[in-house]
Chain A
Amino acid sequence: MSDPIQTDEPDMTAAEFALGVLDGEDRRAAAARAAGDPAFAAEVAAWEERLTPMAAGVIPMEPSPQVWTRIAAALGTTPGLWNSVVFWRGATLAGIAAAAASLAIVAGPLLRTPAPPINAPQTILPVEVASLSTKPGEPASVVATLDPNSHELVLTPVALKLTDDQSPELWVIPAGAQPISLGVMDRTKPYRIPIPMQMNGEGRTTAQLVVTAEQLGGSPDKKPHGPAIAAGKFGQA
């Protein structure tokens, strides 16, 4: 909309942007300008310093406890990319192994566990990754990440083939033994469980992880009935 601008009035866009009075279109334009023009960005920052003390008058309010839980979950103890469904889509085992090798170098500082006891050594153990797929060599349907620092197994669903009236159930099968249910999986986003007992020690590389398509809510009798839709194992160190 046209707006007669006096030639002797300075451009107040930076101030208007900082205050927040610009509408969607003008606001986007100002944000773009701040991103590309350091002088304008500095002007905006100066206006924010001037105006933000008004926030002293804001009445504080406690958010629900779930907000922090979700923030912590989004951060995880492994770098963001590990848990990104988009990142893993189409990844084969070779691709994952290569990614694991390069990420291990980058990921070191991000693998710190929160607040270790004073006397505990600050060792940062590398994570291990396994691809669970319909057949060896096929792209991953689920990526499983073993994080020994937090003692958790992170499952990231990538491409599970299920109908709406099926639930994906995860099983651990120790060598030569019966499958043990690790529960119904979250099919939409990464989630974590404690590392199953069966995967301690030798079990780490001999136990198989399998996903089956069970009835809604999972198998009623703790035994797999549906077809296996993904399987895999952790490799040798």
Chain B
Amino acid sequence: MVEDLERARLIQARRKVAEGDRTALREVYQRTSAKLFGVVIRILNDRQDAEDVLQDVYLTVWRRAESFDPAKASPITWLVSIARNRAIDRLRSGGGRLMTDIDEALGLADPAPDAAAQAVANADAARLNSCIEGLDPKHAAAVRTAFFEGLTYDALARLAGVPLGTMKSWIRRSLMSLRLCLEGA
């Protein structure tokens, strides 16, 4: 499978990065920077801030490569998690720009209506997507918006026009359902 080959290549490149090999970091960058930049700019909505964060992400990858255990996590999850975490940290300390597109005015429109199409290429994504599809549409939209935009409970609640407690309940229950669904219950 293509994704297994890609995963094997990333694991090998990451091992070389852990040994201090700069060309291996460049290889990881070439393979993954467009995806990670997409993740970060979606959260920050500002190109300059997103590029600063992206730089920080790869320096973090360089420093932490030694401690990544391929038996415990997939390399792309590890990379995307670092990217999301750094972007959200930046957003929480005042970076980026608020969403200003029409979806905000209309409330929480589901940000990934064709997630299904894109998920087909990746078995994990397909499975997660079908579990999300099993949620109440308003709850699914909240979970997806939280993931893609990096918004707080407070911002999500305001966008959806529901009380904070309601949004917390939606998200917590959705996460519990997703875990059960993914575990195959």
Contacts and interface: CB of A to CB of B under 8 A. Distances in A.
User: Do most interface residues of chain A lie in helix, strand or loop, or is the interface mixed?
Assistant: helix
Contact of A45 (B62, B72, B122): B72
Contacts of A67: 33, 51, 54-55
B111 to A, nearest CB: 8
A71 B147 contact: no
Contact of B125 (A1, A23, A56): A56
A117 to B, nearest CB: 13
A19 B26 contact: no
Given A27-B92, A52-B80, A74 B176 contact: no
Contacts of B20: 109-110, 112
Contacts of A114: 22-23, 26
Interface stretch (A9-17, A133-141, A166-174, A203-211): A9-17
Contacts of A77: 22
Interface string B90-123: 0011000000000000000000101100110110
A53 B38 contact: no
Contacts, number: 162
B112 A15 contact: no
A216 to B, nearest CB: 27
24 contacts: A16-B153, A20-B147, A20-B151, A21-B146, A22-B153, A24-B93, A27-B89, A48-B77, A49-B73, A49-B74, A50-B178, A50-B182, A51-B147, A53-B77, A53-B119, A53-B129, A55-B39, A55-B125, A59-B38, A61-B37, A62-B34, A63-B51, A67-B54, A74-B59
